Amino acid sequence: MAVPPPVVATVRAAWRCQWRRLMAGLGPADAAGHYRRPESAFALTPELPATAGQAGVHGLIVGRSCPWAHRAWLVWCLRQLAGGLELVVVEPDPRAGRWRFDAPYEGARALVELYRRSGGDPRARATVPALYDRPGRRILVNESARLIELLNRWPAPEGAPDLLPEAKAEANGRWRERLQGTVNDGVYRCGFARNQAAYDQAESELFASLEAAESALEEGGPWLCGDQLTLADVVLFPTLIRLELVYAPLFGCSRRPLWTFPALMAWRARLYALPGVAATCFPDSWRRDYFGALFPLHPSGIVPAGADLATLVAGPAPARLQP
Q: What is the pLDDT of residues 153-196, one digit of tens each?
A: 999 999 999 999 999 999 999 999 999 999 999 999 999 999 99
Residue 299 and residue 207 share a domain:
yes
pLDDT, tens digit (0-9, with 9 covering 90-100), for 257-304: 999 999 999 999 999 999 999 999 999 999 999 999 887 788 888 999
- Stretch among 121-135, 249-263, 275-289 having the lowest mean pLDDT: 121-135
Round to whole Å and give the CA distance between 243 and 201: 18
Residue 149 and residue 173 share a domain:
no
State the pairing for strand pair 98-105/86-93.
antiparallel
Which of 99, 132, 159 delimits the end of a domain? 159
The verdict on residue 7 lying in a domain is no
Residue count (the chain): 323
Round to whole Å and give the CA distance between 186 and 36: 10
Residue 62 pairs in a beta bridge with 89
Residue 138 pLDDT level (bands cut at 50, 70, 90): very high
The verdict on residue 10 lying in a domain is no
Q: Please report the pLDDT score of residue 250 as a whole number.
A: 95
Residue type, 272: Y
pLDDT, tens digit (0-9, with 9 covering 90-100), for 1-32: 555 666 567 766 665 666 566 566 667 778 88
pLDDT, tens digit (0-9, with 9 covering 90-100), for 19-67: 566 566 667 778 887 877 777 666 566 789 999 999 999 999 999 999 9
Handedness of CA 230, 246, 211, 271 (dihedral sign): positive
Query: Residue 206: which region, alpha, beta or left (left: phi > 0; alpha: psi -120 to 50)?
Result: alpha
Residue type, 15: W
Mean residue pLDDT across the chain:
90
Report, as an integer, the average pLDDT of 295-322.
Answer: 79
Residue 55 and residue 31 share a domain:
yes
Residue 252 and residue 149 share a domain:
no
Q: How far apart are the first and last CA of the chain?
A: 69
Report, as an integer, the average pLDDT of 93-114.
Answer: 93
Residues 6+ apart with CB under 8 A from 167: 228
pLDDT, tens digit (0-9, with 9 covering 90-100), for 144-155: 999 999 999 999
Residue 216 and residue 92 share a domain:
no
Q: Check pLDDT > 80 for residue 124.
A: no
Burial 301-312 (b: 16+ CB within 10 A, else e): eeeeebeebeeb
The verdict on residue 14 lying in a domain is no
Residue 132 and residue 41 share a domain:
yes
Whether the Cβ atoms of residue 296 and residue 24 lie closer than 8 Å to each other: no
Residue type, 304: P
Residue 123 pLDDT level (bands cut at 50, 70, 90): confident
- Identify which has the larger pLDDT, 93 or 25: 93
Round to whole Å and give the CA distance between 266 and 135: 44
Q: Please report the pLDDT score of residue 296 as a whole number.
A: 77
Dihedral (C-alpha) 245, 247, 249, 254: value to the nearest 10 degrees?
A: -110
The verdict on residue 241 lying in a domain is yes
Q: Please report the pLDDT score of residue 317 as a whole number.
A: 47
| SS3 assignment, position 60 | strand
> Residue 133: what are its φ and ψ, rounded to 5°?
-100, 110
Which of 134, 159, 184 delimits the end of a domain? 159
pLDDT, tens digit (0-9, with 9 covering 90-100), for 202-239: 999 999 999 999 999 999 989 999 999 999 999 999 99
| SS3 assignment, position 307 | coil
Round to whole Å and give the CA distance between 80 and 194: 41
Q: Please report the pLDDT score of residue 47 as a whole number.
A: 86
Whether the Cβ atoms of residue 118 and residue 42 lie closer than 8 Å to each other: yes
Residue 95 and residue 30 share a domain:
yes
Residues 6+ apart with CB under 8 A from 298: 250, 290, 291, 292
> Residue 206: what are its φ and ψ, rounded to 5°?
-60, -50
Whether the Cβ atoms of residue 272 and residue 278 lie closer than 8 Å to each other: yes
Neighbours of 120 (CB within 10 A): 20
Round to whole Å and give the CA distance between 199 and 201: 5
Q: Please report the pLDDT score of residue 38 as a whole number.
A: 74
| Domain interval for residue 256 | 166-312
Residue 94 and residue 200 share a domain:
no
